[in-house]
Chain A
């Protein structure tokens, strides 16, 4: 049954229905305006001209061009940054801050409360007990 239905469809529908095609031809804009599709193509290609030009430009760029354009931007920026750094060093007259000692660096992040807490009688007992146990 299914096969017969399918065969029927194949026989009916393999080709174009020319009468229907002729009728549907009225929907083709070129039936009213023979140059329609030529103009359509023109509209689209004109509308795409900027994008096409951009793509041509991108395709023409070689690796060397990309590196050159990159270097052209980066080198002056690096020179400027180096010059500014040099000026800052010169103006400052060298390092003015006092050097930080190792001990100072080790305790720099420890909260201030640590010392009083350690010096409290309870803590001291704890520390002494701990020390006596160890030594």
Chain B
């Protein structure tokens, strides 16, 4: 068991190897953090397409600035800061490009047949509900309940006190459940969490 754990390279080791251009090491870092990076980007942008762009951009920017990562063991927190900044920049760019864009809270796309499917409907509902939460609560609830990060990891990587993470999570969950219960037509899966 311990030998298996020691075989798993740490973030620090992967960062050192990626700095020398090791594609496998960089690929492992991407594999390890692509989901949380996407979750953080989604919590800021509120839209799949933007979250995807911001998360991808963030990885490329992180590689370019990898020499500036002072604590390679704390790569995750450093990366999440880049993800947040790229997501905010992307929103700013988009709002400059399209001044008529609706606010994040009520973003909706043109209905497609896909949207009619239950999971897409569910996604739309969740995006709408999540948009009503403060950004930090969105990040925490997505990282904890979607990505399975522990409080300690979230606290460390988002540079927040552990107690703050717990209370944000508590209020985010409460707000999510309340908001979902107010929705007249929610898919069956949502009813289970109420």
**Interface residue ranges, A against B (CB under 8 Å):** 6, 9-10, 12-14, 16-17, 19-29, 31-32, 37, 40-41, 43-45, 47-49, 51-59
Which residue of chain A is the closest to B190 with respect to CB atoms? Answer: A23
Q: Write the nearest CB–CB distance from B62 to chain A, whole angstroms.
A: 9
Q: What is the interface of chain B mostly: helix, strand, loop, or mixed? A: helix
Indicate if the CB atoms of A20 and B176 lie closer than 8 Å.
yes
CA A41 – CA B130 in complex, angstroms?
A: 26
Indicate if the CB atoms of B163 and A6 lie closer than 8 Å.
yes
Mind listing 9 A-B residue pairs with CB under 8 Å? A13-B170, A23-B180, A25-B146, A26-B126, A27-B126, A37-B35, A44-B34, A52-B18, A52-B21
Q: Write the nearest CB–CB distance from A126 to chain B, whole angstroms.
A: 69
Q: How many residues of B contact A (CB 8 A)?
A: 50
Q: Write the nearest CB–CB distance from B133 to chain A, whole angstroms.
A: 12
Indicate if the CB atoms of B64 and A41 lie closer than 8 Å.
no
Tell me whether B23 is interfacial, beta carbon within 8 Å. Answer: yes
Known: A6-B163, A52-B63. 4 other contacts (CB 8 A): A23-B180, A24-B126, A28-B35, A32-B119
- Which chain B residues border A27 with CB–CB below 8 Å? 39, 42, 48, 123, 126-127, 130, 142, 146
Indicate if the CB atoms of A32 and B120 lie closer than 8 Å.
yes
CA A43 – CA B34 in complex, angstroms?
A: 11
Q: Write the nearest CB–CB distance from B33 to chain A, whole angstroms.
A: 10
Indicate if the CB atoms of B163 and A23 lie closer than 8 Å.
no
Indicate if the CB atoms of A23 and B189 lie closer than 8 Å.
yes
**Interface residue ranges, B against A (CB under 8 Å):** 18-23, 26-27, 30-31, 34-35, 38-39, 42, 48, 52, 55-56, 59-60, 63-64, 119-120, 122-123, 126-127, 130, 141-142, 144-146, 148, 151, 163, 166-167, 169-170, 173, 176-177, 180, 189-190, 192-193
CA A12 – CA B63 in complex, angstroms?
A: 38
Indicate if the CB atoms of B192 and A44 lie closer than 8 Å.
no
- Which chain A residues border B22 with CB–CB below 8 Å? 52, 56
CA A43 – CA B148 in complex, angstroms?
A: 24
Most buried by B among A17, A47, A59: A17
Q: Write the nearest CB–CB distance from B37 to chain A, whole angstroms.
A: 9
- Closest 6 A/B residue pairs (Cβ): A56-B21, A55-B21, A26-B122, A59-B20, A19-B193, A24-B146
- Which chain B residues border A59 with CB–CB below 8 Å? 19-21
Indicate if the CB atoms of B34 and A37 lie closer than 8 Å.
yes
- Which chain A residues border B26 with CB–CB below 8 Å? 45, 48, 52
Q: Write the nearest CB–CB distance from A10 to chain B, whole angstroms.
A: 7
Indicate if the CB atoms of A29 and B189 lie closer than 8 Å.
no
Assuming A31-B119, A51-B64, is B145 touching A9 (CB within 8 A)? Answer: no
- Which chain B residues border A45 with CB–CB below 8 Å? 23, 26-27, 30
Q: Write the nearest CB–CB distance from B90 to chain A, whole angstroms.
A: 16
